[in-house]
Amino acid sequence: MIIGDRLRELREAKHLSQGDIEKRTGLLRCYISRVENGHTVPAIETLEKMARALELPLYHLMYDGDKPPEAATAIAPNGDKSAGGLGRKDSRYFQKLRRLLAKMKSDDRDVLLYTVQRMARGKG
DSSP 9-64: HHHHHTT--HHHHHHHH---HHHHHHHHTTS-PPPHHHHHHHHHHTT--GGGGT--
Determine the pLDDT at residue 30.
Answer: 95
pLDDT at 31: 96
Nearest to 25 by CA among 6, 48, 57: 48
Q: How far apart are CA 37 and CA 58, in angstroms?
A: 20
C-beta of residue 30 within 8 angstroms of C-beta of residue 40: no
pLDDT of residue 112: 85
Q: What is the pLDDT of residue 12?
A: 95
Tens place of pLDDT per residue across the chain (124 aa): 588 999 999 999 999 999 999 999 999 999 999 999 989 889 999 999 999 999 998 888 887 766 666 766 555 455 444 444 567 777 788 788 888 888 888 888 888 888 888 888 875 4
Round to the nearest angstrom and report the end-to-end CA distance of the chain.
31
- Local structure of 107: helix, strand or coil: helix
In this prediction, residue 78 carries a pLDDT of 52
Contact 116, 110 (CB under 8 A): no
* Residue 27 pLDDT: 95
